[in-house]
Structure 1
């Protein structure tokens, strides 16, 4: 494959059982490029190693005073020079192609796996680790894949040269044939330690990257509490650990390089010493000694590729292991066990969570109250077709939409049917118009979504920040929306979700960062805009719960009560404890007053403000 053909239409299904298996799979899938690089490598190295024979023949021709022989050897040397130039150029071209195409394949695989995993990825792998795998590790993996063909060409050349020298001059050729394997294998005892040092360096670098990523993401908060210096010292410490590990790693590879230079030098001394003795005894001509000497001297060039392949493998093996770990992660507990369900279009109907027994009827606004925020997050993931993956717990059953298990539905169809907005939505950099330019049904206008999400003040702020009075829709939004407040980011994310207009919309605490007045208006807008569409809101806000058509209390991992807010707040102590944040002591102390007040509310249930004010007071 050529670079111009990238990206791959299908990068394939990787063998992610281990790092070495993944590297082997990559090499096997680039067999054509590897063979091309191998062929040009043989041309290049063969031409390089052909020079000593030409030089030796030229020296012997001069000694024999043979003009014809000198002319022939001159032509042979010129031909070797042409082969060196052409072979080196094409070898470099094919090697770089293999490097880039291998890296691109790995990046596509990682991007595809990241898209499939969604938010479950960062629950299993640290964000800094993902960044490190998709950047530095990808390059190291590509380096090893392309180095394999050059190493193979170098190894074949060394073998052929040793055979050729043995046939050409047996006395010296045997010495070279015995010494070269020692040169090639002399660094093997040093490689395990070099590999361990490379692993340590890579691990520390990953931790430093993760720390830097977290620090940058939370810089605004850190400045607010005066903690930037603390985190700066932590990062400096982590950076110094990386530097120390890199220095120790570099020292080891310097030692390996020194050994690679020392051993050929010793072999060269032995060959010259022994060869001069043979020449002085008249057993070999001087031209043959020059040939063998030049060949041994030039053998250091292909032998360097033995050091490179050892270094490339030492660095790429842990990188491939980390990449394989990410690629082996699954979207659900059942992924890979069963084929995707063949259905026409996206599933529709009632949404049912088998793990808790929670049912969200089609076309209605259902609010779910969970006392445990982590349990609410896991429920949201299941409702989106992402069953939690945790080796310490048994697999969770899939959520059902219209009786169809979402875990078994093809990913694109599942995401078209169900959209999950988690409690910490991310805004990408760009303009507001680009933010709202998402795959959608086309039935909800951006203006309506912004109005329902109460984004009026956000538009005013963007309009003021726009250059030359540009439209607010064209105002830039910084990375992750850091120029906006938490509530503004949350409302823009909600507007983006509403524009999409999925069959089922799952919102996890969509109003946690806004004030009560705005929250009440958002609840009204949400009910109005999503009328007739299935909506599930995981929240404990009384204002949102009061607008829901159906409220479900999930307690200890199962549905404990179903009804409407005003009924549950009056009749269910567990529900009341979650919504009003009552402690056991407060509940016992305030029960007489609360009972009297609820009796008044019961007498006039249509008086919304009185009931709502009571719940707000209890929440406060």
Structure 2
């Protein structure tokens, strides 16, 4: 695999059982590149370590005044120099290729998993962690993958040098053979603590990244409520913790580096001291001493890769663990593709809760718990993994989890309460897989996007709002504008079943009433499920379902449930039964407000308020 061949046609199925297993899987999938790097690394390191022999041979030739041997030494030095240059150049090329391809494979896998999980990803993993894995972590993973081949080349070279010195000069070779393992393993006791400190630094850096990402995403809201400074203080504290952790980690690694310098120096002293004695005794030649000394001095170069592989593994292990965690997330696998002919249609039924949304109707669902409403929306769309023994949602009598994922997604579209807008133009935003029966103009009108179009037209160079740029996540727009554009996108798709989770929570009551009418008119004949507690939406639904503790407890229409179901009234009006009874009108009070004093009169007033577009939260 070359860099020019990226991206992969198929990045493969990763082993996500652990961070180490994922690193091994990456290395195994780049075996060809690893072997190339190993071969070029051997050429480079062996050429480096052969240079001392040429120098020693040259020194001995000068001592013996042999021109022929001096010429041979010069040729050997030139040959090793060429080997060093070619080996280093090609090693660098293959190492960088291995690094980039490993990082690209990881990024490709992350992008694929993000697309598969969609909005469910950020419900399971913090957005900041996803950002950290997709940026800094992939670099560290690539670093370790490419460092392995260079480390193996360096280790093999060290073994060859030690064996060669034992053969070339046994007396000094024994000293080197004893000293080199000490050099290689001398820092081993320090590595566990260095690894723990590196893990702590990465963990704190990941949390700081998550906090920064979440703060930026909610900056508009934070400014609105005066919480900007509070979150900035939190980020400052988090960044200082990262700094202190980084300093502690750097101190440990600097100690390891110092040991890596000290031990080779001690070995050199031992070799020179012992070698001079051997020269004085006439047991070895001066050229041989120069060769052994130079070889030991240059051994620090391949030995540095022992420290590098330790650092690379320490930094990449938590990164690989986080990447494996994200990549291990899955949706229900779906069927084989033969479960039904075409896209299923009909009534939408959830056996677990008893929720039924008849085909072609607008069904509103009221949940007292917003989180429970979000989970129910995920379940209706087949986005949530079903616990063992829990039946699947049925569409037209067909289980969604028995359908291929593409079929299920085409049949049921879920818009969660915090939809994401990708960067690009409005035309690109609305360019989604669709039935073709709903135009962008109709969808924008139903979602009450006239003011959004005006704002975008002012930002566009040619005054065309459809070509105006929309920033990432729609941060240049207000919350209500983002919500309405997302709703228009969902309406353009025109799925068989559309599930909307609080689609108007960020708009005012007048706009909300018009959106309710627009959605009802545009979705005529299609199944629409709206999870909401807004009276303006509930009053326009064909059918209202109250879900309490994950079960359907009441079904009817809005005004009927207001009169008959206290739990429904409590959720919709934000008024408990005790509060309602506490303000029950006394004798004669009914005449004062034009009622007969019935306890249900307050709820009748609520229903009337919703009819004339009064903000129910303000009147309640």
* Same fold per superposition (TM over 0.5): yes
C-alpha distance in structure 1 between counterparts of 2:276 and 2:389, whole Å: 76
Show the counterpart of 1:567: 560
Following superposition, the deviation at residue 173 of structure 1 comes to 0.8
Following superposition, the deviation at residue 248 of structure 1 comes to 1.1
Show the counterpart of 1:484: 477
Following superposition, the deviation at residue 597 of structure 1 comes to 7.7
C-alpha distance in structure 2 between counterparts of 1:617 and 1:326, whole Å: 42
Q: Which of 243-252 and 223-232 deviates more?
A: 223-232
Match for 1:587 among 580, 583, 598?
580
How many residues align? The count is 609
Report whether the alignment pairs 1:498 with 2:495.
no
C-alpha distance in structure 2 between counterparts of 1:437 and 1:597, whole Å: 56
Following superposition, the deviation at residue 600 of structure 1 comes to 14
Show the counterpart of 2:519: 526
C-alpha distance in structure 1 between counterparts of 2:7 and 2:596, whole Å: 66
CA distance 1:380–1:611, change in 2 (3 Å): closer
Asked if the contact 1:542/1:615 (under 8 Å) is kept, the reply is no
CA distance 1:571–1:196, change in 2 (3 Å): same
C-alpha distance in structure 1 between counterparts of 2:610 and 2:35, whole Å: 78
Show the counterpart of 2:89: 89
For the residue of structure 1 that corresponds to 2:552, the secondary structure is: strand
C-alpha distance in structure 2 between counterparts of 1:137 and 1:506, whole Å: 36
Show the counterpart of 1:420: 414
Show the counterpart of 1:142: 142
For the residue of structure 2 that corresponds to 1:362, the secondary structure is: coil
Following superposition, the deviation at residue 365 of structure 1 comes to 1.7
Report whether the alignment pairs 1:451 with 2:445.
yes
| 1:74-110 deviation per Cα after TM superposition (whole angstroms, max 9, x unaligned) | 1121111111111111100000010001001111111
C-alpha distance in structure 1 between counterparts of 2:494 and 2:460, whole Å: 28
| 1:133-191 deviation per Cα after TM superposition (whole angstroms, max 9, x unaligned) | 11111110110000000000000010011111111111111111111011000010000
Asked if the contact 1:546/1:566 (under 8 Å) is kept, the reply is yes
C-alpha distance in structure 2 between counterparts of 1:46 and 1:54, whole Å: 13
Asked if the contact 1:198/1:249 (under 8 Å) is kept, the reply is yes
C-alpha distance in structure 2 between counterparts of 1:103 and 1:396, whole Å: 39
CA distance 1:121–1:587, change in 2 (3 Å): same
What is the correspondence of 1:84-483 to structure 2 with a 5 Å cutoff?
84-332=84-332, 335=333, 343-387=340-384, 397-467=391-461, 470-483=463-476
C-alpha distance in structure 1 between counterparts of 2:389 and 2:32, whole Å: 42
Following superposition, the deviation at residue 127 of structure 1 comes to 1.6
CA distance 1:231–1:611, change in 2 (3 Å): closer
CA distance 1:616–1:288, change in 2 (3 Å): closer
Asked if the contact 1:570/1:598 (under 8 Å) is kept, the reply is no
Match for 1:514 among 477, 489, 507?
507
Asked if the contact 2:363/2:528 (under 8 Å) is kept, the reply is yes
Asked if the contact 1:370/1:555 (under 8 Å) is kept, the reply is yes
C-alpha distance in structure 1 between counterparts of 2:262 and 2:544, whole Å: 78
Asked if the contact 1:542/1:579 (under 8 Å) is kept, the reply is yes
Asked if the contact 2:509/2:613 (under 8 Å) is kept, the reply is no
C-alpha distance in structure 2 between counterparts of 1:351 and 1:573, whole Å: 27
Following superposition, the deviation at residue 595 of structure 1 comes to 12
Show the counterpart of 1:72: 72
| 1:339-377 deviation per Cα after TM superposition (whole angstroms, max 9, x unaligned) | 676555443332222321112222222111111111100
Q: Which runs of 5+ in 1 are unaligned?
A: none
| 1:515-547 deviation per Cα after TM superposition (whole angstroms, max 9, x unaligned) | 222222111111111122221111122221222
| 1:253-298 deviation per Cα after TM superposition (whole angstroms, max 9, x unaligned) | 1111111111111111111111111111111111111111111111
Q: Which runs of 5+ in 2 are unaligned?
A: none
